Amino acid sequence: MLDFLFSNPFLFIAWAIALLVAITVHEFAHAFVADKLGDPTPRLQGRLTLNPLAHLDPIGTLMLLLVRFGWGKPVVFDLYNLKNPKRDSALISLAGPASNLIVASILAVLVRIITSPFSPVYFLVPFLLPVITLNVMLAIFNLIPIHPLDGGKILVGLLPDEDAEKVDLFLRQSGLILLMFLILPLINGRPAVYYLINPVINTILSILLPGQSLV
């Protein structure tokens, strides 16, 4: 994204808006579901809001700007406030990526409706395409099944209790190391995660926006 700053400022602004929307939706969804499942922690910490400033993580935002894969400030929730900690933790984690995919799908339908150059709101399309793209990218990146990404908690929530404890312990001990390996530009100047999830992202975008080449 940073390469657009001087070469195409308009596109940089569009991607910056997309970044704020995707991260805000993602983290708000975590906070909203946690609150609905009985944990007031996110609300007490000011995370039950659509204000982007409450959800931006400096490192995660920088990664999004540099390589378009990143994260927001993690929403903290207290397992002791949840009736079914393993299941509810997975649901809270799933809410973030799911909300991104829902937003991307709704906006993709809107783009198809207004895609005619004769539409009075056609000018919105260049802003909507990055929002759709970044929502899909953020969702798929966070579904990677390692901690501290959402996919780690989702995986643990799907496993039987005995296996869940072992996997959770392993991911807590090695998750950050695995994540660093994935996001470092080790292969042809790109992070390994690019080759891991880019095919999935492109497949989803080809369904939502056929004919568009966005990643």
Please write the tens of the pLDDT for every residue from 181-194: 888 877 777 888 88
Tell me which residues are annotated as active site. Answer: 27
123 dihedral zone (left: phi>0; alpha: psi -120 to 50; beta):
alpha
Axis crossing angle, helix 161-183 with helix 150-158, rounded to the nearest 10:
160
Give residue 121's pLDDT: 77
**pTM over cut 0.95:** no
Mean pLDDT of 36-42: 95
Please write the tens of the pLDDT for every residue from 74-132: 899 999 999 999 999 999 999 999 999 999 999 999 998 887 777 777 778 888 999 99
